[in-house]
Chains A and B, each alone.
Chain A
Amino acid sequence: MKRNVLVSIVAMAAITVAANAGTISGKVSGVAGESVVYVEAVAGKTFPAPTQEPVMDQKGLMFQPHILAVQQGTTVQFLNSDSVAHNVFWISVGGNKKLGHNLGTWPKGDKRPFKFDSPGAVPLLCNVHPEMSGYVVVSPTPYFATTDKSGDYKIENVPDGSYTVTAWHEGAKNQSKPVTVSGDTKADFTLSK
């Protein structure tokens, strides 16, 4: 009996949230390729860290995927699939050079985890293959999306309210704008390098 009541309460809560959640969609233009759009931190609100641990692979002398968007607090597994030695390091997180870090070297097939506690773009590099480049983009909220190659994106399940939304693209200046979400909301960005 107790269990049924609990399930009902959770279901009602979920329906309520869904009823008040919308989407932010739009297009990032002015640049070519994938971008990341995310909702900036909401004052007074925290979000639990995801339990999923996405993988950033080093394969064929490339970071794959080239851009990985994650929520703040996510642990990323760095995998080496190559039969050559690599390392992974970054000189900053969100431009803050104090957060630079070097994960070192590990053999083929092994992974090394790292938890990203600070938001911002993390430019990944390898010190023996200087042409290798990848990004982890750490969103302060769970509301983020990666655009397709034409620049279209859609962030779902964003509770109604007022937010600051930021678009990030490799090598371009970030653009932020206030967005009031009420149901399906549009927000386009034009970035420049």
Chain B
Amino acid sequence: MPVHQGRSMFLVVVGLFCCLLFSTSSQAIPAFSRQYGTSCSTCHVDFPKLNDFGKAFKDAGFKFPKDDETFIKIPPVMLGAPAQAELWPHTIFPGTIPGLPPIGLRFNTFFQVVSANRNNFNLQHPGDPTMQPFIPRTDFQPGLFSIFMAGNMGSDIAFWVDDDISVGGANSNGGLGDGYLKFVNLGRFLKLPTDALSFRVGQFELDLPFSQARSWNLSGWDIYDEANIGVLNGLSPQQNVNNGFAFSSAAQGVEFSGGHQYRGYHYSLAIVNQNTGGTPGSGTNVPPIVGFVSDSNFKDLYGRFSYRFNLERDPASRNEIQAAGASGPRDHTYLVLGTYYFYGRSVQRFSGAESNGTTPTVISAREPFYRVGGDFSFNYRTFNLFGLYMAGHDQNLLPFTPSGGTLPTGFIGARAATFSGGFLEADYLALPWVMAIMRWDVVKSTADQINAIGADINAPPPSSFFSPFSATRNRFTPGIQFLVHANIKTSFEYQIRPQQIVYDPSTGKALTSPFRTNSAVAGLEFVY
């Protein structure tokens, strides 16, 4: 191991132990723990990763799946006696709210060490301090402080709101994460099987196979952050795709879902806002009460279906929420197979001209796109192997300018902008408080190529900072996480990043050999 890498490891280890040393004892527990008088580990393997019971709790609308009232230690406040239900519709239908404000708080902070080659791109602009972003070797980073509330209001109506009060330091604006109401088991009114139909409305993370918003990893899965953004840069092929949509984006809309995450089938179908440009607005003649999030009349569609095979030999245990192990209940041995599909339209607007070539107008390209893929998750005892594949495809309409004209008057078709990739991750719970992680993230993108990432060494375009050398970006990320208490966690991961290379933008000659800018991150997180 080179000397500088050894030093990095030493710093990280020191940082990690500092985190352990200075983390104070905490008896405080979040909302559900307070309400039910139980530990975080009732629902979580390594928070926020859910165990089988946690999945069932979530499916049931943040309730114990059976006999919920017998477990609640703090009685809910009645918003109408249950007998009032008999009088409906001549009275307000009775409901409840949690006896304590169901508030949880979450804070995290990080310490990062980056490879010594992190400033290699400064070679492109020797002597120009304005073009040389200095990346420190080590850095303490405030993460986020967020508030989250969740619970059930009786009548199987669940709610969730989480908001990042601050992100990246004091007084930095955060934003709403998820905020929704979920009407659980609506199918009972249609005499459908239990939990066959639920309905969710608000802002929420799509029903992803593996949640990015509530990921237990320090860094998110790359494919979930993959937008499809090309440039018109004179190279061939051209891309006019400017689709900012990524799976990690929160969506606004409605969702129908059913089934269970802990056994059998599960499906969801969501109709959500389209906003691929990231520029919501409000016209001057529209009351600006809340503005508009959509940038199109079209609504995007997302669908997911999965089936989980519980593989316990004992048929009685197979259908229970948790398997009955010889030494106690545990998560099932299971295999989940799933698929998902997202369909939307990416809207691009340009200053153009009408067909006469002179009268100014706005021309709009509505470019259909889809994301499709599959996923699996296999669990055996305390070992969980899971992965996801995604293919992205955006129609690519290029602005067309007639010969002799100066403004585009329409669009012509071009090669689609595509990407593909996914991740594979193995989690091993070595001890109830120690989880070892190995990840592989991969993204292969035509936008990367067209944006000059991975270009021919003999004809290089200007290369952006931290751009990978190859259009296929691989990242390997071993990590380990420790629960200091059920609600305090220290995490460590080492990100082995893709190869990069630095070119001289004027001569096109390589200034460096291919290199990797790896980083090590230690995090401390607690909820209370």
> Do A and B come from the same complex?
yes
A residues with CB within 8 A of B: 59-61, 82-87, 89, 102, 104-107, 126-131
Chain A proximity mask over B372-394: 1 for CB below 8 Å, otherwise 0? 00000000000000000000000
Q: Which of B39, B321, B327 contacts A84 (CB 8 A)?
A: B321
A60-B71, A83-B66, A129-B42 given; A105·B36 CB < 8 A: no
Let me know if B38 and A61 touch, CB within 8 A. Answer: yes
Q: CA of A106 to CA of B323 in the docked complex: distance in angstroms?
A: 10
Q: CA of A126 to CA of B67 in the docked complex: distance in angstroms?
A: 20
Let me know if B66 and A129 touch, CB within 8 A. Answer: no
List of B residues within 8 angstroms of A127 by Cβ: 327-329
Q: CA of A83 to CA of B66 in the docked complex: distance in angstroms?
A: 6
List of A residues within 8 angstroms of B53 by Cβ: 84-85, 128
Distance between B79 CB and nearest chain A CB, rounded to angstroms: 24
A61-B38, A131-B37 given; A104·B324 CB < 8 A: yes
Let me know if A85 and B327 touch, CB within 8 A. Answer: no
Is the interface on chain B under 10, 10 to 19, 20 to 34, or 35 or more residues?
Answer: 20 to 34
List of A residues within 8 angstroms of B486 by Cβ: 130
Let me know if A128 and B42 touch, CB within 8 A. Answer: yes
Q: CA of A177 to CA of B329 in the docked complex: distance in angstroms?
A: 42
Q: CA of A61 to CA of B32 in the docked complex: distance in angstroms?
A: 14
Q: CA of A85 to CA of B65 in the docked complex: distance in angstroms?
A: 12
Let me know if B71 and A85 touch, CB within 8 A. Answer: no
Chain B, range 318-336, C-beta contacts under 8 Å to A: 320-322, 324-330
List of A residues within 8 angstroms of B41 by Cβ: 128, 130
Task: Determine if B64 is an interface residue (Cβ-Cβ < 8 Å).
Answer: yes
B residues with CB within 8 A of A: 36-39, 41-42, 53, 64-67, 70-71, 73, 316, 320-322, 324-330, 486
Distance between A44 CB and nearest chain B CB, rounded to angstroms: 40
Which residue in chain A gives the minimum CB-CB distance to B329? Answer: A85
Can you offer 7 A-B residue contacts whose CB atoms are under 8 A?
A60-B71, A61-B42, A83-B64, A85-B324, A102-B328, A127-B328, A127-B329
User: Can you add 8 more A-B contacts, CB < 8 Å, to A60-B73, A85-B322, A129-B42?
Assistant: A60-B70, A60-B71, A82-B71, A83-B64, A84-B321, A104-B326, A104-B328, A130-B39
Q: CA of A55 to CA of B3 in the docked complex: distance in angstroms?
A: 64
Let me know if B324 and A61 touch, CB within 8 A. Answer: no
A127-B327, A128-B42 given; A85·B37 CB < 8 A: no
Q: Which of B65, B71, B327 contacts A89 (CB 8 A)?
A: B327
Which residue in chain A gives the minimum CB-CB distance to B486? Answer: A130
Q: CA of A106 to CA of B36 in the docked complex: distance in angstroms?
A: 22
List of B residues within 8 angstroms of A60 by Cβ: 70-71, 73
List of B residues within 8 angstroms of A82 by Cβ: 67, 70-71
Let me know if A87 and B64 touch, CB within 8 A. Answer: no
Let me know if B37 and A128 touch, CB within 8 A. Answer: no
Distance between A175 CB and nearest chain B CB, rounded to angstroms: 28
Which residue in chain B gives the minimum CB-CB distance to A88? Answer: B328
User: Is chain B's binding surface mostly helix, strand, loop or mixed?
Assistant: loop
The 8 closest A-B pairs by CB, nearest first: A87-B328, A85-B329, A83-B66, A105-B324, A127-B328, A83-B67, A102-B327, A85-B322
List of A residues within 8 angstroms of B327 by Cβ: 87, 89, 102, 104, 127
Which residue in chain B gives the minimum CB-CB distance to A128? Answer: B329
Distance between B348 CB and nearest chain A CB, rounded to angstroms: 53
Let me know if A86 and B329 touch, CB within 8 A. Answer: yes
Q: CA of A144 to CA of B371 in the docked complex: distance in angstroms?
A: 70
Q: CA of A28 to CA of B502 in the docked complex: distance in angstroms?
A: 78
Distance between B448 CB and nearest chain A CB, rounded to angstroms: 46
Which residue in chain A gives the minimum CB-CB distance to B41? Answer: A130
Q: CA of A83 to CA of B322 in the docked complex: distance in angstroms?
A: 11
List of A residues within 8 angstroms of B326 by Cβ: 102, 104
Q: Which of B41, B70, B321, B329 has the most CB of A within 10 A?
A: B329
Q: Which of B36, B39, B70, B321 contacts A85 (CB 8 A)?
A: B321
Which residue in chain A gives the minimum CB-CB distance to B331? Answer: A128
Q: Which of B39, B71, B328 has the most CB of A within 10 A?
A: B328
List of B residues within 8 angstroms of A83 by Cβ: 64-67, 70
List of A residues within 8 angstroms of B329 by Cβ: 85-87, 105, 127-128
Distance between B408 CB and nearest chain A CB, rounded to angstroms: 63
A61-B37, A131-B38 given; A105·B325 CB < 8 A: yes
List of A residues within 8 angstroms of B320 by Cβ: 85, 107
Q: CA of A28 to CA of B382 in the docked complex: distance in angstroms?
A: 45
Q: CA of A105 to CA of B42 in the docked complex: distance in angstroms?
A: 15
Which residue in chain A gives the minimum CB-CB distance to B66? Answer: A83
List of A residues within 8 angstroms of B42 by Cβ: 61, 128-129
Distance between B167 CB and nearest chain A CB, rounded to angstroms: 32
List of B residues within 8 angstroms of A130 by Cβ: 39, 41, 486
List of A residues within 8 angstroms of B65 by Cβ: 83
Distance between B67 CB and nearest chain A CB, rounded to angstroms: 5
Q: CA of A131 to CA of B329 in the docked complex: distance in angstroms?
A: 15
Q: CA of A129 to CA of B54 in the docked complex: distance in angstroms?
A: 12
List of B residues within 8 angstroms of A106 by Cβ: 324
Let me know if A104 and B38 touch, CB within 8 A. Answer: no
List of A residues within 8 angstroms of B71 by Cβ: 60-61, 82, 84
Distance between B32 CB and nearest chain A CB, rounded to angstroms: 12
Which residue in chain A gives the minimum CB-CB distance to B327? Answer: A102
Q: CA of A126 to CA of B320 in the docked complex: distance in angstroms?
A: 18
List of A residues within 8 angstroms of B324 by Cβ: 85, 104-107
A61-B36, A61-B71, A85-B320 given; A126·B328 CB < 8 A: yes
List of A residues within 8 angstroms of B330 by Cβ: 128
List of A residues within 8 angstroms of B322 by Cβ: 84-85, 128
List of B residues within 8 angstroms of A105 by Cβ: 324-325, 328-329
List of A residues within 8 angstroms of B321 by Cβ: 84-85
Q: CA of A17 to CA of B38 in the docked complex: distance in angstroms?
A: 49
Q: Which of A83, A86, A107 has the most CB of B within 10 A?
A: A83
List of B residues within 8 angstroms of A86 by Cβ: 328-329
Q: CA of A82 to CA of B37 in the docked complex: distance in angstroms?
A: 15
